[in-house]
Amino acid sequence: MEEKEILELRDQKHEFRDKIKELLPDSNLELCLTCGTCASGCPATGLEGMDARKFVRMLALGLYDEATSSPWVWMCTMCQRCIHACPMKVDIPQMVGLARQTWPREERPKGIIGSCDMALRNDTCSAMGASEEDFQFVVEDVLEEVRETQPGWEDLQAPVNKQGAEYFLNQNSREPVTEPDEMVPLWKILHMGGADWTYGTKGWAAENYCMFAQDWEAWEHIVRVKAKAVDDLGCKYWLNTE
């Protein structure tokens, strides 16, 4: 390994350490009580022989390489149960995110990176690559079928690009592509509640895999595209189903 590469790795480790300290009260990892409350409710506990408590302790002991290189950091769901349960409020999800950033992009899980890259292809932000035209066609086609085949739902609405609607609704990318009928129950709930809502052909996809990939630049881009879609339609509230 060349000297330049060694120096870059050393700088990266120092940067990781400094960022970790910023997340902690008084910049002190020893605030962790090793009580295991974080691990007890974590869906990733035990995977790869790791859990949230072990992860924090490894960081406290300066075992940065071991902690960040474990595949376990990619198994965390970012659900944040650990930080809500932690009596000392140690922000473990943020630490996991920083650990993920130390991985070269080409070595991060292909499924997550692939979904992130797919979402960047157009302004739908769909991780399945669905276009604006395809999404609108599916919504209108499913809506027509429900109106024609389900008694009592002849007036069901699933508007697309309705200007000035109160709510802008996001939809998981998988459903309009592979399971379009699963969109209908939510339409019915909104209908029964008398909600004034709409989809947008731009920014309609709910998920953001770039967050899980810890590609912050791409993550921000997707959020901005979605926020602009909400603003362009003049909606008051943004309902994200993910």
Rounded Cα distance between 201 and 134, Å, is 9
| Cβ 228 vs Cβ 203: under 8 Å | yes
| Cβ 173 vs Cβ 126: under 8 Å | yes
pLDDT number for residue 26: 56
Boundary residue ending a domain (103, 126, 157): 103
Rounded Cα distance between 97 and 20, Å, is 10
Residue 33 has pLDDT above 90, yes or no: no
Whether residue 33 sits in one domain with residue 53: yes
Beta bridge partners of 54: none
Boundary residue ending a domain (74, 103, 132): 103
Whether residue 159 sits in one domain with residue 84: no
pLDDT number for residue 239: 95
Span 73-84, pLDDT tens digits: 999 998 999 989
Whether residue 118 sits in one domain with residue 99: no
pLDDT number for residue 13: 60
Whether residue 86 sits in one domain with residue 131: no
Containing 198, the helix (H) or strand (E) segment is strand 197-198
What percentage of the chain reaches a pLDDT higher than 90?
Answer: 71
pLDDT number for residue 10: 47
Rounded Cα distance between 16 and 146, Å, is 53
Whether residue 228 sits in one domain with residue 117: yes
Whether residue 190 sits in one domain with residue 78: no
Whether residue 35 sits in one domain with residue 124: no
**Token pair for 69:** 């290189």
Whether residue 199 sits in one domain with residue 79: no
Find all residues with CB under 8 Å of 53, minimum gap 6, and list them.
Answer: 32, 34, 35, 36, 38, 39
In the chain, the number of structural domains is 2
Whether residue 204 sits in one domain with residue 94: no
Domain that includes residue 69, residue range: 3-103
Whether residue 84 sits in one domain with residue 116: no
Find all residues with CB under 8 Å of 201, minimum gap 6, and list them.
Answer: 124, 132, 133, 135, 136, 160, 161
Whether residue 185 sits in one domain with residue 156: yes
Return the SS3 of 24.
Answer: coil
HSE at residue 95, side-chain half, CA atoms within 13 A, is 29
> Angle of helix 184-192 relative to helix 132-149, nearest 10 degrees?
70
Return the SS3 of 169.
Answer: strand
CATH code where residue 20 lies: 1.10.1060
Boundary residue ending a domain (103, 131, 150): 103
pTM, full prediction: 0.80
Whether residue 167 sits in one domain with residue 188: yes
